[in-house]
Amino acid sequence: MNAWWLLFAVFALSWCLTLFLRRYALARSLIDVPNERSSHSIPTPRGGGVAIVVSLALVLPVLGGLGLLTSDILCGVLGAGLLVAVIGFADDHGHIAARWRLLGHFIAALWALYWLNGLPAISFFGQAIDLGWMGNGIALVYLVWMLNLYNFMDGIDGLASAEAICACLGMGVVYTLIGHGELLWPVMVLAAAVAGFLFWNFPPAKIFMGDAGSGFLGFFLAALAIHAAGAAPELFWSWMIMLGVFIVDATWTLLRRLVRGDKVSQAHRSHAYQYASRRFASHKVVTLSVVAINVLWLAPLANIVGSGGMTGVVGVVMAYIPLAVLCYFFKAGALERVAQE
């Protein structure tokens, strides 16, 4: 059955829901007011990412009913993602202690891994290796790190949305070229839902994503990588490449702050993308630059790795080295006053 019309439906649904959430946020004074740690200067409504969550929650079961999605995505990934979104929504409306948020995140990750049957065999230099219980532990930490990482990187207009769309469309191309069309629907529907939100979030943003949306996106993308590895081990590395901008910037910044002894749960604006947005005085320039990096550098590498033309580890190293250079250039993780000297 031809169900491609659902992509337009989910885009339109997300677009309309974001408009409604913007009006709701304005009426309830759910406004992100700029402070010394902000990367924006105008008070802006927040919580628009809920539109992405609701759109997927309504459309994915339809795809399941049409036989286009399996229960591991519907019950496992979507179910766990909804828990992450609820935690983020509650935190957007009233602060939740970090330890309780983290506990909820690990519960969600465990639920998803149960339905995904744990971490599948991963390709290392041409050999598919099952890491067993150690692999499942790594996958658990990976899921929780990715959802928090995405929250950290949602700091300027349009960036988190553009990254998700690029990753989904890039992997959609990889799936098509290597003959794994059965994996297409989750990434295409997610891209359409995020695109509906991006209409309102593109610089200058009329509404922000909020923790509910960013955490859900990070978790969903990370879980899709594990799901894809079950079909072809090298696809996990392709996902790691496509998400490289966020993985490298967030990890580099976190490690540098840990070494310095900073309280890592404290808000800051020392990511490479944040320094870049201040240097160029433009969120749009940085967001579009990230899109260009994804399209011109990361997507071709992800395709080469996915098609077996290069081993995954080598592909990730090649992808990440220039990104690490950019982090160094923009002084990611440095104290702001030091970086400006």
What would the pLDDT profile of 57-85 be if each residue is shown by its tens digit?
999 999 999 999 999 999 999 999 999 99
What would the pLDDT profile of 197-246 be if each residue is shown by its tens digit?
999 999 999 999 999 999 999 999 999 999 999 999 999 999 999 999 99
Whether pLDDT at 143 is above 80: yes
d(CA 255, CA 250): 9
Please tell me whether 2 is known to bind a ligand: no
Please tell me whether 151 is known to bind a ligand: yes
Chain-centroid distance of CA 241 in Å reads: 13
Tell me the backbone φ, ψ of residue 124, rounded to 5 degrees: -125, 110
Give the CA-trace dihedral at 157, 256, 164, 291, to 10 degrees: 70
What would the pLDDT profile of 254-295 be if each residue is shown by its tens digit?
999 999 988 877 888 999 999 999 999 899 999 999 999 999
